[in-house]
Amino acid sequence: MRIGVLAVQGAFIEHRQMLDKLKIDNFEIRQLSDLSGQIDGIILPGGESTVMGRLLKDLNLYEPIYQLIKNHLPVYGTCAGAILLAKTIINDSHTWFQTMNITVRRNAYGRQLGSFKIVAPFKDHGNVPMVFIRAPRIENLGRSVIILSSHDGYATAAREANMLVTSFHPEVTDDLTIHQYFVDMCKENMKKEKLN
Ligand code: GLN
C-alpha cells in the first residue's frame, strides 16, 4: 500500500510521520508527476484551504486529483482538507472539489479561542484526542454521510463512501486511531479493486 499526502502547503509532514508509525509507505504530492506511481489513498492536510485550493489549480493537480476521488480512491481531508472536499462552504465564495455532501463554515470556532483540545469517542474506536486549530464546523450533512464523532452538537468526523473528513487534527497527537481507520478504508478499497 502506498498513500500520497498533498504537500503544497500546510501540515503534511505530521501526516507522513503518522503513516510512518503505522509502517505505511507514503509520499508527497507536489507536482503532476507524483501522481504517476502506485497510489492507494490521498490525504489532504490542514493548512489554509484558499491557498491550497489555488496551488492545486496552479500546479495542475486539481483535475487529476478530482478524477481520482470521483473514481473512488479513498481520500482523507483534515480541517482545511475537509473544506476542500465540501460541497458547500457557507462563508466563502470559493468552493473546490465539492465531492462530499457536507456544508462547512470556515473558522467557525472563533479566531481567538480557535484552538483547543478535547477527548471524545470516535465511532466504535473508543476515546480519541482531537485538536482543533481554527477549524471549520460541519453544519450540514447529506443523508449518505455517516457521523463518526461529534462535539457540541456538530459532527467533527464524517464519512461518505470513499471520503473521510475530520474538522480536528489527529496528526498533532500521538493517537493513531484516525490514520488506522483511513488505512483500513484504503485496504478495503484495494480488496474491492482486486475483485473487479
Ligand atoms: N482556517 C483554515 C481554513 O479555513 C483551516 C485551518 C486548519 O486547517 N487548521 O482553511
Annotated catalytic residue 171: yes
Mean pLDDT, the chain, whole residue set: 96
- Residue of minimum CA distance from atom 8 in ligand 1: 46
Q: Give the helix/strand (H/E) hosting 159.
A: strand 154-160
Q: Are 72 and 58 in contact (CB under 8 A)?
A: no
Q: What percent of the chain has pLDDT over 90?
A: 94
What is the CATH architecture of 2-195?
A: 3-Layer(aba) Sandwich (3.40)
Measured between alpha carbons, how far is residue 96 from residues 42, 126, 133, 181 in Å? 16, 32, 21, 25
Q: Give the residues across from 158 on adjacent strands.
A: 147, 165
Q: Which atom of ligand 1 is nearest to the CA of 47?
A: 8
Torsion of CA 24, 185, 8, 117, to 10 degrees: -90
Assign 114 a pLDDT band (cuts: 50, 70, 90): confident
Q: Give the residues across from 132 on adjacent strands.
A: 116
Model pTM above 0.85: yes
Give the distance (Å) from ligand 1 centre to CA of residue 79: 6
How many Å from the N-terminal Cα to the C-terminal Cα in the chain?
18
Q: Which atom of ligand 1 is nearest to the CA of 169?
A: 9
Please name the residue that has the C-alpha cell 497510489.
39
pLDDT at 194 > cutoff 90 = no
Helices and strands in the chain, H and E counts: 5, 12
What are the tens digits of pLDDT across the range 117-144? 999 999 999 999 999 999 999 999 999 9
**What backbone torsions phi and psi does residue 138 show, to the nearest 5 degrees?**
-85, 105
pLDDT at 112 > cutoff 80 = no
What are the tens digits of pLDDT across the range 31-85? 999 999 999 999 999 999 999 999 999 999 999 999 999 999 999 999 999 999 9
Residue-range domain boundaries for the chain: 2-195
DSSP sequence for 16-38 = HHHHHHTT-EEEEE-SGGGGSS-
Q: What SS3 class is residue 155?
A: strand
So what's the pLDDT on residue 123? 97
Question: How long a stretch of residues is the chain?
Answer: 196
**Residues lining ligand 1, judged by CB closer than 6 Å?**
46-49, 79-80, 83, 106-107, 133-134, 136
